[in-house]
């Protein structure tokens, strides 16, 4: 049938071409079209074409001088078809210019199609114009034909339909371009009309769950109502298909494994409203009855059933079953038992061996297979970081037994380096069943992590402060003398170099320089950090002589990774020295305004870090206990020179836990404690190493080396000190505790700017003496905030805190205040 239609079509074309020849034949050269006759082409000319090459057009026809053709016949029809097929010809007219004996002379009169000069949108906004300009297939210089115009209309209407403009009209008008010959400008005139929203969703056939419950399962298909003020109610067909599957997934998760969508329809309620009707057949609800195991030798049935965590009478949920068998991100699963012991090739096939009434019996058919040994480990994507920096973090080495936990642990530790995009660290085990080995392919995406800080602020009594800082987080001293590696600085070996300068003219100047080698010697995770600092703080007054505080010092720290209690633990030992020179400085202690204090101390810290993502943690914890000790001078001498050598013992504990509640919603709980003590009752605690609580925790510009600044949102900087001692009120407390509960929601995981919002409740207090210490007396606050982490600038954020309690002597202090964060997390 199809072949006959095509034959008729070509006969029609042949007849049309013959008619054209007939209409253009001269009376002096009559052609009898009832009697086909053979002619030899004596010449071919092209007329009407202004911009196309006539010789090229003649070549396209497939005809040439000397060819034998039949008139009437298919030769001329085929030539016309070849010209049309080029898409550049709008019309073709063939005429016989003359006939001389057996020779025929032909002329092809052509009408060229115009070419696109440019196109212009109207009726839509700027962002929509930009989006459509990338979507439509319109190239300057290309011919404009009906197919091009129809395709453009279709693309525009599809784009607008995704934006809920289902009534959009697209009119494309061609107008000649006065600047370019044979060119047109396309005026694409768009009438978007009103947005069409979903006015009603009607679910039919549901008895186990309410319409409201089922509608909540659909993520993108929402009806316009007061309950969905903050949800989009636009209709998108692709999203509707996805949401129907989510609806079935919900039924399946509730034991209705036979649930189906019988039918669905989308209909018009009005010009700007759609209605959706979904008919479901829920089927029967099923429950687990007997679960048996077959083929397991390493673990007995009882143990596997306990790990599976499904009991007789539980609602049948195939998705949850698969998760507990194969991969459970929030807990242990059965396959983890095998894969963490090298049994990569294992598989568990749950088979429904009996369905009786509403009960299902399962048989878990286990194939354990051999243990797999790691053969090759390949790392790709590191364009800046050296291979050895990555490989020293790997916990999956050639020759080791395969372990899924070690694979995931490696990913977390690569993310913790801060050199790579945590969302794009790829793990791909490639099993080789033939020889019982596995190749592992890690892929990373480098992300900028060097930080430049250039900022200004107001530092309270000292006025405006400027800060310039440079932190190179992936520095390389090894490449320092190789000029080819300066792009723009030598990098890739994981070393950290940091330089910061903060100043307010001659009144306040602070300089710090530090260097860290995280793998001293290159074989073990033993770190070395060396730092130097200098701070000068001056004050001038019309009523008293100028005052000055000069602080100089440095420290050296050695750290190492522990294997016990587990290998998440680290220990560090630091030796530090600070020299405080006071010249008529009356702003710390009333009885210590001139002189020199020396602080020599050893800081011992043990910590545990198991956070999965440094920019937006969703699981894991961070614990730290540190003890800062000076020599016990008071045990060997009297208290006459009590400030010459600073004496103290300082204990600090910090804990932070992250729990993934759902999706990108994370709960973070934190607890912080600090205590400053002395070795004997005869000793004096000096003004240094104290605690200041309140505000953002940045110190308000009065930052002294050796002072701990702790944030308490909703309160002014350094405002929380419970003491009757004026020196303590000025220098800070000797004991503090603080508790935080924070709910975080990830907004954007992009490595260029990781963004999340948060809501918090926190409480804390700071005490000037142990006689005043009361851990249950806390100042509380609540609030909301946001964080933006950009690799180039570090952490940026703000909080709005509302204090719930009044501070002594400050009953009129404002309740709510904003806090801005730059470069650090609130502790």
Average pLDDT over every residue of 489-509: 88
Residue 570 lies in a domain: yes
Q: What is the pLDDT of residue 700?
A: 46
Domain stop point among 351, 367, 383? 367
158-194 tens-digit pLDDT = 888 888 888 889 999 988 887 888 788 889 999 988 8
pLDDT score recorded for residue 34:
65
C-beta separation of 374 from 394 below 8 A: no
> Tokens in use for 737?
């505790």
How far are the Cα atoms of 30, 512, 616 from residue 23, in angstroms, in the given order?
A: 11, 96, 80
Where residue 740 falls among pLDDT bands split at 50, 70, 90? very high
Lowest mean pLDDT among 338-342, 653-657, 730-734: 730-734
Position with higher pLDDT, 374 vs 699: 374
- Return the top range by mean pLDDT from 32-46, 280-294, 739-753: 280-294
**pLDDT higher for 269 or 813?**
269
CA-wise closest residue to 658 among 307, 320, 330: 330
Examine the domain organization and report whether 155 and 105 are in the same domain.
no
Q: Per the domain annotation, does 760 fall within a domain?
A: no
pLDDT for 375 equals 96
Mean pLDDT along residues 462-487? 83
* Separation CA 472–CA 450 (nearest Å): 5
Residues 363 and 381 in one domain: no
Taking each helix axis from N to C end, the angle separating 2-24 and 74-85, rounded to the nearest 10 degrees, works out to 100
> CA–CA separation, 805 vs 811, rounded Å?
9
pLDDT of amino acid 22? 39
Q: Tell me how many domains the chain contains.
A: 7
**What's the CA gap between 827 and 818, in Å, rounded?**
17
Query: pLDDT at residue 72 above 60?
Result: yes
The reply to whether 433 and 381 lie within a common domain is yes
Cα gap 827→825, rounded to integer Å: 6
- Whether 461 is in a domain gets the answer yes
Q: Which of 501, 490, 494 is nearest to 454 (CA)?
A: 501
**Which pLDDT score, from 0 to 100, does residue 792 have?**
65
Please check whether residue 807 lies inside any domain of the structure: no
Confidence of residue 304 (pLDDT cuts 50, 70, 90): very high
Between vectors from CA 746 to CA 740 and to CA 752, what angle results, nearest 5°? Answer: 115
Whether 509 and 534 map to the same domain: the answer is no
**Per-residue confidence (pLDDT) for residue 348, from 0 to 100:** 95
Please answer whether residues 785 and 661 qualify as being in contact, where contact means their C-beta atoms are separated by less than 8 angstroms. Answer: no
Tell me the DSSP string of 317-351: -HHHHHHHHH--TTS--HHHHHHTTT-TT-EEEEE
Q: Which of 281-290, 543-552, 642-651 has the lowest mean pLDDT?
A: 543-552
For residue 464, being part of any structural domain is answered with yes
Mean pLDDT of the chain: 85
Widest CA span in the chain: 138
What letter does residue 307 receive in the DSSP assignment? H
In this structure, the number of other CB atoms found within 10 A of the CB of residue 641 comes to: 11
Output Rg (C-alpha) for the chain, integer angstroms: 40
Whether 104 has a pLDDT exceeding 80, the answer reads yes
Torsion of CA 760, 763, 766, 769, to 10 degrees: -160
User: Which residue from 654, 668, 643 is spatially nearest to 593, judged by alpha carbons?
Assistant: 643
> What is the percent of the chain with per-residue pLDDT over 70, rounded to a whole number?
89
- Could you tell me if 426 and 442 are in contact, meaning their C-beta atoms sit under 8 angstroms apart? yes
CA distances from 765 to 1, 708, 779 (A): 91, 14, 6
Confidence of residue 42 (pLDDT cuts 50, 70, 90): confident
What pLDDT does 455 receive? Answer: 62
Higher-pLDDT residue of 465 and 430 is: 430
Averaged pLDDT for residues 459-478 = 76
User: What single string gives the DSSP state of each residue in 94-153?
Assistant: EEEEEEETTEEEEEEEEEEPPEEEEEEEESS-HHHHHHHHHHS---TTSBP-HHHHHHHH
* DSSP result, 222-263: ---SGGGTTS--B--HHHHHHHHHHHHHHHHHTT-TT-EEEE
* Spatial contact of 197 and 222, defined as CB atoms under 8 Å apart: no
Domain boundary among 483, 517, 551: 517
Q: Same domain, yes or no, for 27 and 138?
A: no
Domain housing 181: 115-191
Instruction: Specify which residues 514 forms β-bridges with.
Output: 498, 531
Say whether 650 sits in a helix, a strand or coil.
strand
Range scoring the smallest mean pLDDT among 52-56, 529-533, 772-776: 52-56
Between 223 and 464, whose confidence is greater?
223
**CA contacts within 13 A on the Cβ side of 14:** 14
Assigned token pair, 11: 């006969």
Query: For position 174, which CATH number holds?
Result: 3.10.20.310
- Give the N- to C-terminal CA distance of the chain in Å, as an integer: 81
Quick one: which H or E segment has residue 159?
helix 146-162
Domain shared by 624 and 573, yes or no: yes
Q: What is the pLDDT of residues 668-719, one digit of tens each?
A: 999 999 999 988 877 878 888 899 999 887 654 444 567 888 999 999 888 8
Q: What is the pLDDT of residue 463?
A: 55
Helix (H, G, I), strand (E, B) or coil at 783: strand
Query: Which pairing describes strands 373-380 and 437-443: parallel, antiparallel, or unpaired?
Result: parallel
Judge whether residue 761 has pLDDT over 90.
yes
Q: What would the mean pLDDT of 357-370 be, rounded to a whole number?
A: 95
Same domain, 62 and 107: yes
Residues, the chain: 827
**Considering the domain boundaries, does residue 104 fall inside one?**
yes
**Which DSSP string do the residues of 388-402 spell out, in sequence order?**
HHHHTT-S--TTSBP
The structure tokens listed for 789 are 């982490």
Same-domain status, 362 and 386: no
Domain co-membership, 31 together with 64: yes
- pLDDT tens sequence across 212-252: 899 989 988 888 765 555 556 788 888 899 999 999 999 99
pLDDT at 787 over 50: yes
For residue 738, the model assigns a pLDDT of 97
pLDDT at 357: 93
Distance CA 781, CA 720 (A): 13
Residue 489 burial (CB < 10 Å; 0-12/13-18/19+)?
middle
Task: Tell whether 406 and 426 lie within a shared domain.
Answer: yes
794 in a structural domain: no
Same-domain status, 342 and 328: yes
* 354 and 462, same domain (yes or no): no
Q: What is the pLDDT of residues 535-587, one digit of tens each?
A: 988 876 544 557 888 999 999 999 999 989 998 999 999 999 999 998 888 77
Indicate the pTM of the whole model.
0.69
pLDDT at 231: 59
Contact yes or no for 358/284 (Cβ under 8 A): yes
Smallest Cα–Cα separation from 727: which of 588, 604, 825, 606?
A: 588
Q: How does DSSP classify residue 647?
A: -
Take residue 98 and report the two structure tokens written for it.
């003359």
Would you say 168 and 191 are in contact if contact means Cβ atoms under 8 Å apart? yes
The b/e string for 692-704 (b: 16+ C-beta within 10 A; e otherwise) is bbbbbbbbbbbbb
- Tell me if 787 is assigned to some domain: no
CB atoms within 10 A of CB 571: 13
Distances in Å between the Cα of 797 and the Cα atoms of 242, 362, 794 are 36, 52, 10
Among 97, 112, 127, give the residue marking a domain's end. 112
Rounded Cα distance between 253 and 532, Å, is 60
* Per-residue pLDDT tens digits for 310-349: 999 999 999 999 999 998 877 789 999 999 999 999 999 9
Q: How many helices (H) and strands (E) does the chain have?
A: 13, 34
Q: What is the DSSP string of 33-90?
A: TTS-EEEEEEEEEEES-SSS-HHHHHHHHT--TT-EEEESSHHHHHHHHHHHHTS-EE
Please state, in angstroms and rounded to a whole number, the distance separating the CA atoms of residues 158 and 164: 10
């Amino acid at each position: 049938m199809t072949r006959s239609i095509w034959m008729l079509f070509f006969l029609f074309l042949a007849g049309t071409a013959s008619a054209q020849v007939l209409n253009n034949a001269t009376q002096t050269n009559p052609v009898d079209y009832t009697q086909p006759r053979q002619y030899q082409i004596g010449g071919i000319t092209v007329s009407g074409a202004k911009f196309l090459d006539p010789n090229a057009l003649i070549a396209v026809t497939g005809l040439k001088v000397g060819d034998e053709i039949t008139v009437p016949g298919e030769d001329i029809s085929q030539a016309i078809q070849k010209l049309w097929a080029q898409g550049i010809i709008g019309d073709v007219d063939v005429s016989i210019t003359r006939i001389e004996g057996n020779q025929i002379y032909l002329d092809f009169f052509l009408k060229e199609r115009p070419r696109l000069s440019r196109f212009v949108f109207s009726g839509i906004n700027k962002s929509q114009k930009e989006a459509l300009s990338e979507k439509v297939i319109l190239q300057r210089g290309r011919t404009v034909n009906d197919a091009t115009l129809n395709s453009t209309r279709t693309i525009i209407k599809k784009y607008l339909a995704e934006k809920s403009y289902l009534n959009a009209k697209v009119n494309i008008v061609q107008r000649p371009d006065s600047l370019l010959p044979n060119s047109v400008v396309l005026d694409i005139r768009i009438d978007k009309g009103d947005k069409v929203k979903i006015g009603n969703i009607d679910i039919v056939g549901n008895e186990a769950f309410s319409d409201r419950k089922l509608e909540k399962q659909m993520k993108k298909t929402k009806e316009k109502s007061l309950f969905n003020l903050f949800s989009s109610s636009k209709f998108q067909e692709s999203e509707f298909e996805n949401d129907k599957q989510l609806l079935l997934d919900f039924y399946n998760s509730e034991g209705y494994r036979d649930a189906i969508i019988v039918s669905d329809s989308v209909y018009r309620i009005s010009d700007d409203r759609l209605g959706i009707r979904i008919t479901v057949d829920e089927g029967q609800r099923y429950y687990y009855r007997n679960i048996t195991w077959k083929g397991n030798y390493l673990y007995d049935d009882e143990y596997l059933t306990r790990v599976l965590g499904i009991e007789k009478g539980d609602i049948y949920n195939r998705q949850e079953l698969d998760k507990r068998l194969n991969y459970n991100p929030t807990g242990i699963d059965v396959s983890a038992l095998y894969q963490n012991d090298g049994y990569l090739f294992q598989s568990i096939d749950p088979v429904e061996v009996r369905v009786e009434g509403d009960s299902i019996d399962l048989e878990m058919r286990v194939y354990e297979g051999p243990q797999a040994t790691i053969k090759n480990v390949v790392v790709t994507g590191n364009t800046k970081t050296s291979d050895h920096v990555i490989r020293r973090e790997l916990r999956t080495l050639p020759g080791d037994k395969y372990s899924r936990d070690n694979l995931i642990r490696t990913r977390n530790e690569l993310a913790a380096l801060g050199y790579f995009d945590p969302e794009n660290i790829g793990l791909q085990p490639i099993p080789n069943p033939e020889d019982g080995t596995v190749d592992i392919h890690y892929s990373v995406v480098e992300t900028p992590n060097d930080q430049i800080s250039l900022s200004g602020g107001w530092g309270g009594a000292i006025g405006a402060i400027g800060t310039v800082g440079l932190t190179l987080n992936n520095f390389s001293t090894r490449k320092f003398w190789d000029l080819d590696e300066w792009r723009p600085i030598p990098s890739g070996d994981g070393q950290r170099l940091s330089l910061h300068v903060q100043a307010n003219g001659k009144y306040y100047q602070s300089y710090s320089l530090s260097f860290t080698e995280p793998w001293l010697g290159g074989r073990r995770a033993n770190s070395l950090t060396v730092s130097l600092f200098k701070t000068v703080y001056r004050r001038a007054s019309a009523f008293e002589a100028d005052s000055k505080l000069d602080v100089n010092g440095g420290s050296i720290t050695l750290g190492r990774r522990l294997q016990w209690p587990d290998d998440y633990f680290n220990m560090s030992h630091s030796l530090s020295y600070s020299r405080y020179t006071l010249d008529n400085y009356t702003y710390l202690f009333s009885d210590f305004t001139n002189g020199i204090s020396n602080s020599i101390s050893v800081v011992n810290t043990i910590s545990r870090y198991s956070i999965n993502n440094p920019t937006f943690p969703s699981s894991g914890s961070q614990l730290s206990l540190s003890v800062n000790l000076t020599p016990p001078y008071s045990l060997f001498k009297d208290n006459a020179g009590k400030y010459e050598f600073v004496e103290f013992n300082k204990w600090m504990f910090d804990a932070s836990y992250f729990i993934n509640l759902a999706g990108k919603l994370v709960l973070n709980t934190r607890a912080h404690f600090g205590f400053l003590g002395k070795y004997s009752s005869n000793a004096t605690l000096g003004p240094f190493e104290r605690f200041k609580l309140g505000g953002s925790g940045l110190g308000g510009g009065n930052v002294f080396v050796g002072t701990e600044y702790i944030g308490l949102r909703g309160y002014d900087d350094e405002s929380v000190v419970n003491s009757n001692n004026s020196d303590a009120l000025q220098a800070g407390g000797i004991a503090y505790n603080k508790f935080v509960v924070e709910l975080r929601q990830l907004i954007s995981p992009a490595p260029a700017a990781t963004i999340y919002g948060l809501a918090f409740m926190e409480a804390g207090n700071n005490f000037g003496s142990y006689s005043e210490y009361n851990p249950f007396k806390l100042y509380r606050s609540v609030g909301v905030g946001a964080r933006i982490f950009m690799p180039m600038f570090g952490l940026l954020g703000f909080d709005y805190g509302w204090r719930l309690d009044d501070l002594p002597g400050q009953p009129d202090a404002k309740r709510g205040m904003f806090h801005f964060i730059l470069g650090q997390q609130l502790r």
